[in-house]
Amino acid sequence: MVKSDVIEVGGVIATPGREKRRWWRRLAWPLVVACAGWALFQLSGLPFGRLGVMVSSATPYAALGAAGAVLVALLARAPAAVVVGLLAAAGLGAPVLPRALGGEQPQNAGPALRVLSINIMMGDADFDTLLDLVRRLKPDVVSVQELDGWAVHGLERAGLTELLPYTHLLSRRAASGGGLYSRFPLTVLPEFGPSRGHVMPYARLVVPGGPPVDIAAVHPVNPVKQGTRLWRAGLASMPAPGGDTLRIMAGDFNATLDHPELRAVLAKGYVDAAEVTGTGLVPTWPANWPTPAMITIDHVLVDPRVQVRSVSAHTIPDTDHRAVFTELRLPALS
């Protein structure tokens, strides 16, 4: 009898497809859990510190990331991870998607009102380019943030007061000043912001054929640099719309629509002009950096009785904010 040698080989033969799915599964769970945590963070509506404010600003990108996490979970064939990812994507996407879709508006027959808002970065913005923009867009009101004494004279020399002769200017050092330039006469209204924050000039104008409009050059403090408490106080101080006067808040809010503090302002009855026209995801900051603008912190909030016809953002050299131009239609006088 011939005795043969038999060599036993142990182990499990794994197919390449199974190994790939295992790799996708290892990636899927951390992604969907991170997105779910972000969604819970946003949906809680709780006030957070400086880090939380910064994180909230990136929520539109997190919503996009949640959609990617669902795709990874599908590739991993991990049903539980798919469910968690879908819930996270829904929680993050539900408040973000309407900004690109627009909303219902009144159809007004009153006069037009064109509003331009610009943070001039403590007077460093290129005033010649800004004046070219004003001449081209023909705004009726310009809301200016970070207006210092030098900038007041610079804008006057550039010709802004020739185009918009009525003003309410509260120039201050560094970033704390602000002003309104108008085609129509202005009646100064009492300031509403906290005394230690940036000034927010507030005035009433009357457009021929339309109801009176109260407009403010909005600029709460930077929550990262100057603290969230004063920032929240600035946002909370804004008067609610209503009554016989229309109210418009235009400026650098240092907040996105993902911050509960700005959502609380909207809950008073305002409409975000960019959101209602489907341009709410157009970023306004930081401009003129090596990277493109990434978040939307410059807004025009309007009374819900005002029709928003269009919103556009424009880059001005030497400032880190894009100018926001809004075309409005007021209700006709009865």
pLDDT tens per residue, range 208-226: 999 999 999 999 999 999 9
Contact 243, 204 (CB under 8 A): no
Q: What is the pLDDT of residues 115-127, one digit of tens each?
A: 999 999 999 999 9
What is the mean pLDDT of the segment spanning 10-21?
Answer: 56
What separation in angstroms does the CA of 3 have from each of 6, 7, 172, 273?
A: 10, 13, 101, 89
**What 3-state class would DSSP assign to 239?**
coil
**CB environment 188-209: b (16+ within 10 A), e (fewer):** ebebebbeebbbbbbbbbebee
* 3 has a pLDDT exceeding 70: no
Residue 26 has a pLDDT of: 82
Q: Any alpha helices (H) in the chain, and if so which ranges?
A: 16-44, 50-57, 59-75, 79-96, 98-101, 127-137, 149-158, 160-163, 223-226, 228-236, 260-267, 273-276
Q: What is the pLDDT of residues 263-277, one digit of tens each?
A: 999 999 999 999 999
Residue 18 has a pLDDT of: 65
Indicate where the chain has its CATH 3.60.10.10 domain(s).
108-329
What separation in angstroms does the CA of 301 have from each of 99, 117, 297?
A: 14, 11, 12
**Cα–Cα distance, 195 to 230 (Å, whole number):** 10
What percentage of residues in the chain have a pLDDT greater than 90? 87
**Cα–Cα distance, 325 to 314 (Å, whole number):** 8
DSSP state of 285: B
Q: What is the pLDDT of residues 80-100, one digit of tens each?
A: 999 999 999 999 999 999 999
**Cα–Cα distance, 232 to 227 (Å, whole number):** 9
- CATH classification (class only), 108-329: alpha beta
Q: What six digits make up the tokens of 93?
A: 């996407």
Please provide the average confidence, as pLDDT, over all residues in the chain: 93
Residue 45 has a pLDDT of: 87
Residue 86's contacts (CB-CB under 8 Å, 6 or more residues apart) are 70
* 154 has a pLDDT exceeding 60: yes
Contact 119, 321 (CB under 8 A): yes
**Cα–Cα distance, 185 to 206 (Å, whole number):** 7
